[in-house]
Structure 1
Amino acid sequence: MSRALFDAALQAARDFHAAIPALSNFAPWPGDLHWAGRSPNPVPRAALMQSEPGEASDLSRPLQQALCALAPHLEWRLTYTEDEVGRDFLDRYGWFELAGPTGHYRTDKLRMTVGYWGAGLYYPWHQHGPEELYSVVSGGALFELEGEEPLTLGAGDTRLHPSERPHAMTTTDQPILTFVLWRGEGLADDPQMSPS
């Protein structure tokens, strides 16, 4: 594992955060970050993300490239079970915590995660305590939020999910790579599927 790749990805994330007002207004960049290191959990979706990351913008391309370089060295996680989302979803989805209470870098101020979903996946309705701001690094998807009109987002776009408000996402003909911020209580908690 190369610490330099992690530091490069963190710097690219910081630059992306500073360049998008919605991100910097949602939460300031944490001043208490320190390297924690996590054991890699390499998974097939890491190679998929590298080969099919989706279309980036000029603004998001440096972060996309830094994350793709880092993909084999990450502690990839899966939140859901096959019964909840299906085998195909699990084979083409994954996320990792770049920084937060249990991340590669530690901070108690917020949680910064990166998620990847392959093309043609439906991410069912779910919710969580912390407020969440999605930003699209590359690719795109249809984002749904209870009580709001669905939005199709692409590179550089953002979507706010209030605390405990159910939301869902569908990728279409391309995958999506996201940089996500959480703030508030329960930063280390996992999302839960919404009651049907």
Structure 2
Amino acid sequence: MIDTHWQALLDATRALHRDVPELAAFCDFPDTVTPQAYAAKHDPLCDAMLGQTGLTTLPALQAFHDSALTAARSAHWRDTYRDTPFGETLHAHFGSFEVVGRDTVLSAEGMRSFFVYQAPGFHYPMHHHPAEEIYLVLAGSGEFHLQGSGSRVLGPGAIVHHPVNAPHALTTHAAPLVAYVIWKGDIQKKPVWTETDALA
């Protein structure tokens, strides 16, 4: 049986994909989501995120935002770059857990989605991946950089699209960033750093 917190997150995620036009247009939400046993893996950034005060989201995003924060305590926080140059530094400031997809309680095919937190005052360097991606900013703000395009500082409700293998980066300033991220296409390959020399 699925934990009540994860059932609430599944219901809120399905509603979010239905009610936010950009998410509905980006990819279909899986018809079948199968609960699976998946061990929790704590990250100190979860505590930092839950300890933040003064962050607000939009009313239309509140149910998903709140259910994700509740599920965060029992989620498997990811180590995507832990064994790469800059990995330890990154994971001291940027954390995420999978909501729907492969490495999560809510197993599904065809897409992967993630709940993301980036601490204030941090630059997540240029990276890329074969999955096509969109960000939905839930709370806080971030400066989004896409190679070949201008940078944009965006807050709650903003949608950011990253094409396949397009190098992109993210900078937080005074506020942290809380976001929901969706992958489609080639969703099994990890992201890689675009310019490893810049990480030294």
Please list, as runs of the form range in 1=range in 2, the aligned pairs for 1:165-180 lying within 5 A after superposition.
165-180=166-181
- The 1-side partners of 2:74 and 2:179 are apart by 18
Please list, as runs of the form range in 1=range in 2, the aligned pairs for 1:101-116 lying within 5 A after superposition.
101-116=102-117
1:49 aligns to 2:49 (yes or no): yes
| 1:125-173 CA-partner distances (Å, limit 9, x unpaired) | 0000010011111111000111111111111111110000100000111
Please list, as runs of the form range in 1=range in 2, the aligned pairs for 1:126-137 lying within 5 A after superposition.
126-137=127-138
- Total equivalences in the alignment: 194
1:62 aligns to 2:63 (yes or no): yes
Deviation (angstroms), 1:36: 1.5
- The 1-side partners of 2:151 and 2:174 are apart by 17
Please list, as runs of the form range in 1=range in 2, the aligned pairs for 1:1-196 lying within 5 A after superposition.
3-52=3-52, 54-81=55-82, 84-85=85-86, 87-185=88-186, 187-195=187-195
The 1:89/1:101 distance shift into structure 2, 3 A limit, reads closer
When normalised by structure 2's length, the TM-score is 0.90
Does structure 2 retain, via aligned residues, the 8 Å contact 1:35–1:106? yes
Deviation (angstroms), 1:87: 4.6
Q: State the SS of the aligned residue for 2:76.
A: coil
Does structure 2 retain, via aligned residues, the 8 Å contact 1:141–1:170? yes
Deviates more, 1:158-167 or 1:83-92: 83-92
Does structure 2 retain, via aligned residues, the 8 Å contact 1:120–1:170? yes
Does structure 2 retain, via aligned residues, the 8 Å contact 1:120–1:174? yes
Deviation (angstroms), 1:82: 7.5
- The 1-side partners of 2:16 and 2:68 are apart by 12
- The 2-side partners of 1:82 and 1:124 are apart by 16
Percent sequence identity over matched residues? 26
When normalised by structure 1's length, the TM-score is 0.91
The 1:43/1:154 distance shift into structure 2, 3 A limit, reads same
- The 2-side partners of 1:102 and 1:136 are apart by 22
List alignment gaps of at least 5 residues for structure 1: none
The 1:107/1:56 distance shift into structure 2, 3 A limit, reads same
Deviation (angstroms), 1:101: 2.6
Deviates more, 1:52-61 or 1:157-166: 52-61
Deviates more, 1:57-66 or 1:141-150: 57-66
